[in-house]
């Protein structure tokens, strides 16, 4: 499975300090994506006080990253649980762009 690399729009999110928690119960793993001062940092741990928490199976996340699965369709079908607001999550993920 090929995963497309992403860059962050650093100038657009230079004033942002937000944290997304990703939880994958099927593999008992959690990750923190912290966007702060135009930099995105991913850590292999559960976040302390996330702004948004996303829970889904790990394979589903891989399919979303590889553009094999629509995140909107997965959310609509109940495969993804989001706490903290769908709108906030979409806003944060819009700071990323595909590398061509």
CATH assignment at residue 41:
3.30.1050.10
Checking if the pLDDT of 49 tops 90, the result is yes
Q: Looking at the chain, which runs of residues are DSSP E strands?
A: 6-8, 17-24, 29-36, 39-43, 52-55, 81-83, 96-98
- The overall average pLDDT reported for the chain is 84
Helix, strand, coil in percent for the chain, rounding step 5: 25, 35, 40
Count of domains for the chain: 1
- Does a structural domain hold residue 1? no
Q: Which residue, chain included where needed, has tokens 């999550």?
A: 89
78: left (phi over 0), alpha (psi -120 to 50) or beta: left
pLDDT digits (tens, 9 = 90+) for 14-29: 788 889 999 999 999 9
The pTM of the full predicted model, rounded to 2 decimals, is: 0.81
CA separation for the pair 49, 70 (Å, rounded): 27
Residue 86 inside a domain? The answer is: yes
């Amino acid at each position: 499975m090929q995963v497309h690399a992403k860059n962050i729009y650093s100038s657009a999110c230079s004033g942002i300090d937000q944290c997304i928690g990703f939880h994958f119960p099927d593999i008992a793993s959690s990750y923190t994506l912290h966007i702060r001062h135009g930099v995105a940092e991913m850590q292999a741990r559960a976040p302390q006080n996330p702004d948004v928490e996303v829970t889904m199976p790990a394979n589903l996340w891989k399919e979303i990253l590889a553009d094999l699965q629509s995140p909107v369709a997965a959310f609509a079908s109940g495969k993804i649980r989001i706490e903290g607001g769908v709108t906030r999550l979409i806003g944060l993920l819009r700071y990323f762009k595909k590398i061509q």
